[in-house]
Structure 1
């Protein structure tokens, strides 16, 4: 066992964005992760385990490697070949923040091996620009529940730690959904009444997380901006939205652009009942995979000089 100064380990949480009304604004970190270890090598290689290991381990069109190279080329630095070990728990293409985690991993690797000297704020700004919005990137980088926005090229984030006893159930269908397809179904113009309802919801949403006001979530997670339009391509969503308020389920929303659905549950005592009504609601479609997790308050963890 030897220590190598250039070796790095990055552990990044999954995230669920929007949470109903907080379109491109609100997100929360979940405690399943992408872990990436890397060290200099003669050539690029990836050894991947966990979910979607074959896709994560492919050298061609690999998000982490391609972005790592692109960033260092842009900054005029050599792209040192890396031997990468990747353990993935985040479902790909499901609306659980896999792209934000992958992009942040690439940025951290470029910052470290390219000696870029970027601050935490710069790393988050780079990830937010690449994502096109800061919500997933902010929650992945900082952990907890975040409300975020970009003005004048600067990312602004307010963060709170979610209540310790709340749990998240992520309902996963069998097939992924491209974010581009999920965005293509959205209208260009919205009615004022729909916008006002979302503004009311997102204001309550932040206070519900900050104050542990679970009774607010059913109303706070109401959305008129994206979920009504995405229901046609996320058929489990209309089956699950009515479950808010039943069996300890505090609120239900599409996770990011979908197709996964997030249910927030009032503690471990409510999990069994929540699982039962979710499975009952999904009988006519398919038996989904359910992931039970806590909310992740730690955010991305970066360790350098780790042992092999």
Structure 2
């Protein structure tokens, strides 16, 4: 039996739309054993357990079957226990984690035949967003770039003196819907706005310049539009800026809002954030301290 664990991810980080991603310490873990029967059995535990399929329709198995076909690997009967801490359809990379876990499982069951570059390539083809898949697989904060069919990335450590808090609403948002609300064209000013900020932000990460990082987080490409679908986002971001506490960004396409703070959040701070969301109608909210993770795929033989 093998155990594969994959971290959640937060993508975009404000100005880094479809480019930046970072691994977080919330995990999707599977324990996998081969069985003689040509069957696919999965038992879901944790987030999504009430409605995720427990047969070959599950995304984990669909991914395994695709990669086995692409690489001519033998199809094996599998029995899986899945333990999911990652809220589903909340912008924390639950699909990317599931797909990455499946890719890593296929790799282990076939003698580690795939390089990390091949694993990223296959996972990104299935998931569609390298900015989610790459940090899930390699950890850290990553910059993703596509060049034709090739995917390139750079990995950086995040700041140890920026405190991360995930504000996770009960409601879900579909990535497809949140892409449809984005404009098909942008002004030159908006493009320059984001280009300058992502360049400055990456430079700030490289130099570990915390204040430079906070300065560069603003965005003109996706948050002004997606924020309208996340009641309370603009109010919480405005409050953090006014108090000099830090910044708020939409995690992926939402609905989670990630707070990036200069100091650890206090009990009164959590109460204020909850109040601001509640005033706009978001009352079922989990506020959770999270940390960035430098490691992506974790594999253990049990």
Mapping of 1:96-107 within 5 angstroms? Answer: 96-107=92-103
Q: How far does the alpha carbon of each residue in 1:209-259 deviate from its partner, in whole angstroms, 9 at most, with x for none?
A: 333333234431111101111123222322222133355632211100111
Q: Which runs of 5+ in 1 are unaligned?
A: 1-6
Q: CA deviation at 1:192?
A: 0.7
Bigger Cα displacement from structure 2, 77-86 vs 15-24: 77-86
SS of the aligned residue for 2:278 comes to coil
Cα separation, 2, equivalents of 1:273 and 1:300: 36
Q: Give the counterpart of 2:30 among 33, 36, 41.
A: 36
SS of the aligned residue for 1:245 comes to helix
1:292 aligned residue? 289
Bigger Cα displacement from structure 2, 97-106 vs 277-286: 277-286
Cα separation, 1, equivalents of 2:269 and 2:128: 34
Cα pair 2:245 2:263 within 8 Å, conserved:
no
Cα pair 2:23 2:140 within 8 Å, conserved:
yes
1:169 aligned residue? 165
1:59 aligned residue? 55
Q: TM-score, normalised by structure 2?
A: 0.92
Cα separation, 1, equivalents of 2:162 and 2:236: 18
Cα pair 1:214 1:250 within 8 Å, conserved:
no
Give the total of aligned pairs.
298
Q: Give the counterpart of 2:122 among 109, 126, 142.
A: 126
Bigger Cα displacement from structure 2, 274-283 vs 25-34: 274-283
SS of the aligned residue for 1:232 comes to helix
1:276 aligned residue? 271
> In structure 2, do the counterparts of structure 1 residues 74 and 93 end up closer, same or farther at CA, with 3 Å as the change threshold?
same
SS of the aligned residue for 2:29 comes to strand
Mapping of 1:15-30 within 5 angstroms? Answer: 15-30=9-24
Cα separation, 2, equivalents of 1:261 and 1:113: 37
Mapping of 1:152-163 within 5 angstroms? Answer: 152-163=148-159
Q: CA deviation at 1:9?
A: 1.3
Q: CA deviation at 1:98?
A: 0.7
Cα separation, 2, equivalents of 1:127 and 1:185: 26
Q: CA deviation at 1:197?
A: 0.9
Cα separation, 2, equivalents of 1:109 and 1:267: 39
Cα separation, 1, equivalents of 2:244 and 2:290: 15
1:13 aligned residue? 7
SS of the aligned residue for 1:107 comes to helix
Cα pair 2:204 2:212 within 8 Å, conserved:
yes
Q: CA deviation at 1:302?
A: 1.9
SS of the aligned residue for 2:51 comes to helix
Q: How far does the alpha carbon of each residue in 1:245-283 deviate from its partner, in whole angstroms, 9 at most, with x for none?
A: 355632211100111111112243x44454233123113
Q: CA deviation at 1:162?
A: 1.1
Q: TM-score, normalised by structure 1?
A: 0.90
> In structure 2, do the counterparts of structure 1 residues 271 and 217 end up closer, same or farther at CA, with 3 Å as the change threshold?
farther
1:186 aligned residue? 182
2:299 aligned residue? 302
Cα pair 2:11 2:21 within 8 Å, conserved:
yes
Q: CA deviation at 1:78?
A: 2.7
Cα separation, 1, equivalents of 2:156 and 2:20: 11
| 1:83 aligns to 2:84 (yes or no) | no
Q: How far does the alpha carbon of each residue in 1:94-119 deviate from its partner, in whole angstroms, 9 at most, with x for none?
A: 00011111111111122232457110
